[in-house]
């Protein structure tokens, strides 16, 4: 059994833009030599007939690749604007059938209690061709980049997949946000707030029903740990900024860049300064650097536009 906390960001990209994406200096120069590989992946998602697993904020997946077969259970965690952090438990399988033991002692008991001897059945499957590589985006941060092309299959319904997953292997979220912001300046990529699993649930329901796992709104727990809840706010705020940045890919919208982003940047700066005692020093410095990099040109533009407006009135 392996257990980890998965921290990743999902981005949508058009198929026609993939060659331009792979050609970017940000990708080529940061790729760790020898880390590239290609995989053909089949994912099968399981649940009970009354969706006990998904309604509990979890997913159960069996993944098949050329060389291995494994079962993974993911728990719901911090999420906002395409970024997610959640626990996952994985066990190797000898055959393509779900099991309920081997993940972790305490977790196994909870899973078995939740299911109450009900059978697991396939809800949908996801088939993708994946190109994987490791990127050293800063001296301290390594991310795994997975570019997926494939489809979600539910009975006679199908939805295409063209997306990029960036998962932190070591380092900080702040470095990942900076990297994505710079990449978005070069290639039309967009935040994908929904996981493949969430999209599969929607397709399964014909997009008419709504499972509570599909609600991607910021969920702050007033009784929760202060550091955890404030970090949710930071992730949510930065994600909103990244989403708005895509609007600015159109030159017609650039004149309003200060209107679109300045208020968000100022709120984020105030939040980071307020919770400085709760953050690790490296995280605080990285978040502060992001805010400063965004804020300075926006503030200058705002001042210049006010000056021009006043000059015209004179």
| Residuewise pLDDT in 10s, the chain (314 residues) | 555 555 778 888 888 999 999 999 999 999 999 999 999 999 999 999 899 998 888 899 999 998 789 999 988 655 544 545 567 889 999 888 999 889 887 888 888 888 988 899 999 999 999 999 999 999 989 999 999 999 999 988 899 999 999 999 998 887 888 888 888 878 888 877 778 888 888 888 886 444 333 344 556 666 666 656 666 676 667 666 766 666 665 666 667 777 777 777 877 778 777 777 777 787 788 778 878 877 787 778 777 877 787 888 87
**Other Cβ atoms closer than 10 A to 12:** 17
CA dist 169 and 36 (Å) reads: 15
45 closest CA partner among 31, 21, 63, 32: 63
Predicted pLDDT at 187: 86
CA dist 73 and 65 (Å) reads: 17
143 closest CA partner among 25, 1, 26, 289: 26
Predicted pLDDT at 46: 94
Residues found in the chain: 314
φ, ψ of residue 224 to 5 degrees: the values are -80, 180
CA dist 156 and 141 (Å) reads: 42
In CATH, what class is 2-216?
Answer: mainly beta
Let me know: does 238 contact 184? Beta carbons within 8 Å: no
Let me know: does 276 contact 284? Beta carbons within 8 Å: yes
Predicted pLDDT at 254: 66
């Amino acid at each position: 059994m392996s257990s980890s906390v998965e921290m990743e960001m999902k981005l949508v990209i058009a198929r026609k833009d993939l060659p331009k994406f792979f050609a970017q200096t940000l990708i080529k120069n940061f790729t760790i030599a020898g880390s590239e590989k290609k995989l053909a992946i089949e994912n099968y998602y399981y649940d009970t007939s009354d969706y006990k697993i998904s309604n509990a904020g979890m997913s159960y997946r069996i993944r098949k690749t050329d060389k291995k077969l494994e079962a993974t259970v993911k728990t719901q965690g911090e999420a906002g604007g395409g970024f997610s952090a959640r626990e996952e438990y994985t066990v190797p399988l000898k055959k393509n059938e779900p099991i309920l033991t081997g993940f972790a002692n305490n977790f196994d008991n909870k899973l078995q209690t939740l299911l109450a001897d009900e059978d697991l059945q396939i809800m949908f499957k996801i088939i993708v061709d994946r190109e994987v590589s490791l990127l050293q985006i800063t001296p301290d941060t390594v991310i795994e980049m997975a570019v997926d092309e494939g489809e979600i299959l539910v009975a006679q319904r199908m939805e295409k997949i063209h997306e990029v997953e960036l998962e932190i292997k070591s380092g900080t979220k702040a470095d990942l946000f900076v990297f994505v912001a710079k990449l978005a300046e070069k290639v039309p990529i967009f935040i994908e707030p929904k996981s493949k699993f969430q999209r599969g649930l929607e397709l399964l329901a014909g997009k008419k029903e709504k499972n509570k796992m599909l609600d991607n709104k910021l969920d702050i727990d007033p009784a929760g740990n202060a550091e955890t809840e404030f970090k949710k706010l930071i992730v949510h705020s930065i994600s909103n900024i990244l989403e708005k940045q895509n609007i600015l890919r159109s030159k017609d919208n650039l004149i309003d860049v200060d209107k679109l982003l300045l208020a968000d940047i100022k709120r984020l700066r105030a939040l980071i300064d307020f919770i400085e005692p709760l953050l690790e020093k490296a995280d605080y410095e990285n978040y502060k650097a992001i805010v400063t990099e965004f804020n300075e040109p926006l503030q200058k533009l705002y001042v210049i536009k006010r000056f021009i407006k006043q000059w015209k009135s004179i």
